[in-house]
Structure 1
């Protein structure tokens, strides 16, 4: 990209985007590691939904808030370039303020210390040694399969929901407007997703991951039937469509909590941040590969048969859930609350 025959500012901008993406990915790993180091297992379960909520809020603020801010500046007479420059300067100042706040306010967990490192070996040798520790686990195949296939159906579904809602009825879609889809999927759906994650974290905190794994698997996958109904019934009622999407998104948020807690469980050990980063990478692969094929599959099958296909592809999620081994006490609040 840096060799494209274009203006220098485009190449410099692309280079800066690369640096920002690299920094963001690195920060993600550090934030996940800090979450695991700063909280014990029951607290991780209790607050995992809260973490998801703030992640979603940040996503909405960045994708919507920055655009709205730049748009308002343009309406007040600022050129496009100046409007976006001011917007990004304000965002940068905000993050600098957050950086200072976190530096002085965030606690320093006792467990937050350097992991054992063999100084007699090169950095790459030590890196690959730590990497191989993750893949030497006796149940590694089951772990990888769980990471890849627990959301196999949802990875395909999530990419086709918006097109299904937008496409004309003659093409098998519901023919909604962009504004209606933005409200249903971008607002109501996101709120339902966050509530599902919040509730999922709470119930794991109370009863543990093993107790809730199968209910979460069922509640995550069975609402996919909703899209089979919508594609066949083609309802006109916006309220009905909105409720259906909200129910499906709540189930997805609720079931995804089990996935996240399992990743945290697998990452336990002296290199938990590294292990969690590996799990996140495999998770991303498990989302990317099915999603890449979802559009082609839908074009081949049509929406009605595509959503039936989605139901069939939930089977791997049930299979991997049956194979994983989880401590019955994992995630459960082991501290007895005082009687009043």
Structure 2
């Protein structure tokens, strides 16, 4: 792949920030939601769904182990385009496994390939964001970044879940329906790779970080620099606990919506889940993320932290109510889910800016990857036990337990240090 001179930069972030983060969202949506809905449709138990799909978070957890190599070799631009093509290939292979007898094991294997490729793509994309934009632009575009990330979630969760539900109803073949969905995703990724090959800028700073020096020394130096940061214990505690409750709720939200009333669920069809949770909910999530970015850019992260921590966690009580009342109205259920998702989108902006603040410095790409890896660890381990906890407690008591699991996040928010004025225009 031939490169233009490194000094040539396409200056308009609107050409590439929206599409880059739209694409970054799609594989994460596959792990977080599509795989859960797919395996639920294919008759896999809640315990197995939560356990095995939570393991798919592992590449995002351990990506800091190879993040320095993304810094050291080739450009971030090269990594982004190449990995988008590889993700498209992995998704196409998932589509081919759905009609096979050992679909569960084979589809999981292909999803692992996709997850490792996606985690590496995230390293390059997040690093490219920080290289391609000035710090003031980074804060200004965090809402745009978040909004188009949510648009990617909307496309992946809403439209594709609805498509799977309708195809299943019309053909009676669940495997065929999900093959079509993953085929569509594969085509989307190939299209994104071709677009980004042309549209991504070429920042002068987007060069390998080592030239003639010892790569192994640079690798360990980036890790050592992160763990020598002041207040590293508070940094780790805040990132790991911020989504302790939400990590468990997310894994069981779709099974709860789909399980019959007799089992404590709401009895929605796959198509109705596509409307209520994956479309209305994600739209609310998107609006919340955009509002959070605007507020932080005006007031700064320090003043916004506490309102955003409350916004993430208090709406979890919505699920306690839904599990207790088991309402039948799709409109009411959609409105309740929209409230919960708006709060989550609004509040999660604080975590994104906090990780940028922590990562600022010489090794910003590798350090941001470490932060997101820790955040993924905080999602993976609680998610792995969530299915078993739900089966032991039942949905109503499980959601009460989730609310209790948010307490550590409030404690850490009271202790963590925020740079005055960070994120403010």
Per-residue deviation, 1:67? 11
Q: 1:136 to 1:46 in 2, by over 3 A?
A: same
- 2:220 corresponds in structure 1 to 128
Q: Deviations over 1:58-102 (max 9, x none)?
A: 345467569969x8xxx9xxxx8x989996885565245313322
Instruction: Work out which of the residue numbers 98, 105, 123 in structure 2 matches 1:29.
Output: 123
Q: How many residues align?
A: 311
- 8 Å contact kept, 1:45–1:202: no
Partner SS, residue 332 of structure 1:
coil
Partner SS, residue 343 of structure 2:
helix
List gaps (5 residues or longer) in structure 2.
Answer: 1-99, 101-106
Partner SS, residue 326 of structure 1:
coil
- 2:53 corresponds in structure 1 to none
CA–CA distance in 2 between the matches of 1:239 and 1:62? 22
Instruction: Work out which of the residue numbers 44, 58, 71 in structure 1 matches 2:152.
Output: 58
CA–CA distance in 2 between the matches of 1:66 and 1:309? 28
RMSD: 3.2
Partner SS, residue 360 of structure 2:
coil
CA–CA distance in 2 between the matches of 1:178 and 1:84? 13
- 8 Å contact kept, 1:232–1:304: yes
- 1:43 corresponds in structure 2 to 137
CA–CA distance in 1 between the matches of 2:394 and 2:110? 41
Q: Deviations over 1:130-174 (max 9, x none)?
A: 211111123111111111101111001111111111111121112
Per-residue deviation, 1:229? 1.3
Q: Which moved more, 1:57-66 or 1:293-302?
A: 57-66
CA–CA distance in 1 between the matches of 2:207 and 2:341? 38
CA–CA distance in 2 between the matches of 1:295 and 1:14? 18
Q: TM-score, normalised by structure 1?
A: 0.81
- 8 Å contact kept, 1:36–1:44: yes
Q: 1:16 to 1:161 in 2, by over 3 A?
A: closer
Matched, 1:199 2:291: yes
Q: Deviations over 1:158-201 (max 9, x none)?
A: 11111111111121112222221121011101111111111110
CA–CA distance in 2 between the matches of 1:83 and 1:234? 32
- 8 Å contact kept, 1:192–1:247: yes
Q: 1:14 to 1:251 in 2, by over 3 A?
A: closer
Higher Cα Rg, which structure: 1
Q: Deviations over 1:273-329 (max 9, x none)?
A: 010011111111110110111111111111111111111111011011111111220
- 1:100 corresponds in structure 2 to 197
- 8 Å contact kept, 1:41–1:330: no
CA–CA distance in 2 between the matches of 1:84 and 1:178? 13
